[in-house]
Amino acid sequence: MPTFDFDLFVIGGGSGGVRAARMAAQHGARVGLAEAAELGGTCVNVGCIPKKLYSYAAGYAESFEESAGYGWKLPEAPQFDWAYLKTQRAKEISRLNGVYASLLMNSGVTLVTGWAQLVDGHTIEVDGKRHTARHLLVATGGTPYVPEMPGREHIVTSDAMFDLAPFPKRLLVVGGGYIACEFASIFNGLGAKVTQLHRRAHLLTGFDDDVRQFVANEMGKAGIEVRLNVEVASIARGSHGLVVTLARGQQVEADTVLFATGRVPNTQGLGLEAAGVALDERGAIAVDAHYRSSVPSIYAVGDVSTRVQLTPVALAEAMVVVDALFGKGKRALDYEYIPTAVFTHPNIGTCGYTELDARARFGEVAVFSTEFKSLRHTLSGRGERTFMKLVVHKATDRVVGLHMVGADAGEIVQGFAVAMRAGATKALFDSTVGIHPTAAEEFVTMREPMPG
Ligand SMILES: Cc1cc2nc3c(=O)[nH]c(=O)nc-3n(C[C@H](O)[C@H](O)[C@H](O)COP(=O)(O)OP(=O)(O)OC[C@H]3O[C@@H](n4cnc5c(N)ncnc54)[C@H](O)[C@@H]3O)c2cc1C
């Protein structure tokens, strides 16, 4: 039996890597983890957490505005201090980095700081020092993708958005995915003049078509100029800021240009080829249902290998690997009915199938939807509206799609996701008593299906 320094060595201290390392160590395994940057990875440092904090910051602008309708007289117009928000965010993120370090240390994980490379199926090298392990886990995440184009050096990616200096008075967002939409909403709320360009006919590919149209309309009402079917040709620095030239010749000026045009797996400079780890057609590490790569001792979880790039998915995949290697045994993760939220203003919450996908998968479906002004906005004076939709498989009455655009949609949909995973039928929704007065109660009071 060969002897190894560790039972498991993890490359990457982000969502998936930290969870796997910590849980494996709690099972008594000898675990090492290499991280080249701050602990916590994308989610903690440049993703979910700072993004949500900034989304809260943007939400106050709406609240100040709405409060007048409820009798509040503000002594003077509220002022926003971008430098203060950045400092507060940095403090909180650094606290979280520390929490992650303590979690690892308290579980007995050996933390190695530096860039890790695979040498072979059982060996990695960090700063010239080699470590061996019975099992290796690659959890190196992903990175923003920016297409080649003239003037590419002038743009920023989502990684830079949290520390921009100065605050951009005019922000141009290129992209139509959830990250693009969220940053457009956040900076619009914080006071920037935001233009969002997308090369397709609708924002948010992969979401339900009604949701896509509804949210684009709400974002427009909130002040974002959403321009669809446009392609960027080049970017140059002009005398009054950046000049973005579109494929059809028009020009748009901005102080900051954010390209949120997708993400690619972090597979470069890892020694994957040397170790014989195969990639799939997207350039991600190819894994089987148990996250094992083409090299039996090397596993991969999270954004470097998965198709569902979300923190809770990376965590769940990590747990599958740990259970198989050190715990209860082999099991597979169920990717159906994974709920998700988009923190646009208003938020999107969604679980299960879009109407289109449900028709393709189940055949006949019934669709229930409603659109209304929430009670809050009867006095607030804002024109924001809420949208809800249920997609029901006719043959079984099971609710297979649930979609919402409106305040706190993410908070609301999480609970419904449990019911949907349990196979809740429309009849069960109908027999559930609503909570009044809430927006969420509409999900249990929609009675008439849409015609067709
Ligand atoms: C702007 C933005 C907003 C997001 N919002 C959400 C959200 O609201 N909800 C949600 O669920 N998900 C969100 N995500 C996605 C989420 O952040 C990722 O799915 C998640 O972080 C993936 O975890 P991971 O463990 O695969 O990788 P990461 O968390 O990216 O961790 C990878 C780590 O590996 C390290 N690393 C890479 N290569 C090496 C190496 N060779 N040696 C040592 N260390 C290395 C990196 O420094 C990094 O710390 C967001 C992402 C972005 C960009």
CATH number at residue 254: 3.50.50.60
Question: CB atoms < 10 A from the CB of 269, how many?
Answer: 11
> CATH number for the domain including 359?
3.30.390.30
The dihedrals phi and psi of 408, each to the nearest 5 degrees, come to 60, 30
The pLDDT of residue 2 is above 80: no
Establish whether residue 306 lines the binding site of ligand 1, counting it when its CB lies within 6 angstroms of any ligand atom.
no
Do residue 278 and residue 130 come from a single domain?
A: yes
Do residue 313 and residue 352 come from a single domain?
A: no
Do residue 169 and residue 28 come from a single domain?
A: no
Last residue of a domain, one of 235, 260, 285: 260
What confidence category does residue 1 fall into, taking pLDDT thresholds of 50, 70 and 90?
Answer: low
Question: What's the whole-number average pLDDT of the chain?
Answer: 97
Report yes or no on 185 lying in a domain.
yes
Do residue 348 and residue 426 come from a single domain?
A: yes
Distances (CA, A) of 174 to 113, 160, 221, 238: 35, 15, 19, 19
C-alpha 45/C-alpha 401 separation (Å) is 32
Distances (CA, A) of 323 to 245, 291, 301: 52, 12, 14
The pLDDT of residue 200 is above 90: yes
Element at 111 (helix H, strand E): strand 110-113
Establish whether residue 141 lines the binding site of ligand 1, counting it when its CB lies within 6 angstroms of any ligand atom.
yes
Do residue 272 and residue 255 come from a single domain?
A: no
Share of the chain above pLDDT 90, in %: 99
Tell me the angle at which helices 15-26 and 82-106 cross, rounded to the nearest 10 degrees: 30
Do residue 93 and residue 135 come from a single domain?
A: yes
Ligand 1 center to 303 CA (angstroms): 7
Report yes or no on 241 lying in a domain.
yes
The whole domain housing 353 covers 340-444
Establish whether residue 51 lines the binding site of ligand 1, counting it when its CB lies within 6 angstroms of any ligand atom.
yes
Ligand 1 center to 15 CA (angstroms): 6
Report yes or no on 1 lying in a domain.
no
How many domains does the chain divide into? 3
Ligand 1 center to 53 CA (angstroms): 17
Do residue 114 and residue 23 come from a single domain?
A: yes
Do residue 269 and residue 256 come from a single domain?
A: no
The pLDDT of residue 356 is above 70: yes
Establish whether residue 311 lines the binding site of ligand 1, counting it when its CB lies within 6 angstroms of any ligand atom.
yes
C-alpha 192/C-alpha 371 separation (Å) is 29
Mean pLDDT of 196-223: 98
Share of the chain above pLDDT 70, in %: 100
Do residue 28 and residue 161 come from a single domain?
A: no
Mean pLDDT of 90-100: 98
Do residue 130 and residue 36 come from a single domain?
A: yes
The pLDDT of residue 31 is above 70: yes
Do residue 424 and residue 352 come from a single domain?
A: yes
User: Active site includes 436?
Assistant: yes
Question: CB atoms < 10 A from the CB of 422, how many?
Answer: 9
Last residue of a domain, one of 204, 237, 260: 260
Catalytic residue among 27, 345, 403, 436: 436
